Amino acid sequence: MATENRIDLIKPFGPWIAKINIPDDILLKLNNYVDQIIIDEEKSKEQDFGRQLAGNVKQEFKLDENFKKKSGWDNLLKKATSKWMEIALKKKISEFNIIDTWVVRQFANEYNPIHFHSGHISGAGFLKLPNDFGKTTQEGKINQNGSLTLVHGSKQFLSTSMYTITPKVGDFYLFPHYLMHMVYPFYGNNEERRSISFNAKIDENIFDVYKQ
């Protein structure tokens, strides 16, 4: 059973990345919420967020303010970000304000091109996944179908520029807003790849390293 106590810090290149697990009860609430939005045409249109996002995908919509707090999603992100900053920077944040948090529904042949977010802190994680992302066109190639790739700088000696994440339901990654990232398409079925993301601001004096 997933809990919200564990946090892993990853540093594959420049910036620190944090990985947490979405607790099972919050994961269930998020998926139930999404399922209800899907069948409610009026609410789907009201919360549509696709035009403001980079994805070439079926549907993207924002979580409403009430659900964000009631479900515990807001508090989970705040706690994870606080712990991340304490470990990575040895500093405590006093501010955490979510700008937006949204769900991305991706199906076969759809993708999210390389992009970055606004705010200070961002993140992406997985709520629901297909049983199979499909095969590679050529045999023997690494299968990155449906994976999330984070990009920073350029490849150099002893320094990689890409970190590819194989999706797993309940895994959630936090990273600085400027970190470029993308999601590859997948093939071969009509099942949903459902993810969730957010943008938030923290204390300006902690974020703005140029004033320190």
**Please, are residues 132 and 188 in contact by the beta-carbon 8 Å criterion?**
yes
pTM for this prediction = 0.91
Among candidate residues 197, 173, 144, 140, the one with its CA nearest the CA of residue 12: 173
Rounded CA gap, 123 and 98, in Å? 11
Rounded CA gap, 100 and 200, in Å? 7
Give the pLDDT of residue 2: 59
Q: How many CB atoms lie within 10 A of CB 87?
A: 12
For the chain, count helices (H), then strands (E).
Answer: 5, 11
Which sequence spans correspond to the domains of the chain? 7-131+161-203
CA angle, corner 33, sides to 32 and 36, nearest 5?
A: 85
Question: Rounded to the nearest 5°, which phi and psi values hold at 35?
Answer: -60, -35
For the record, the structure tokens of 166 come out as: 């194989």
pLDDT tens digits, one per residue of 70-89: 999 999 999 999 999 999 99
**Please, are residues 97 and 165 in contact by the beta-carbon 8 Å criterion?**
no
pLDDT tens digits, one per residue of 122-177: 999 999 999 999 999 888 889 999 999 999 988 888 778 899 999 999 999 999 99
Q: 3-class SS at 77?
A: helix
Q: Which fold has domain 7-131+161-203?
A: Jelly Rolls (2.60.120)
Does the pLDDT value for residue 46 go beyond 90? Answer: no
Rounded CA gap, 31 and 97, in Å? 23
Residue predicted with more confidence, 41 or 169:
169
Give the pLDDT of residue 41: 83
Give the pLDDT of residue 3: 57
Give the pLDDT of residue 13: 66
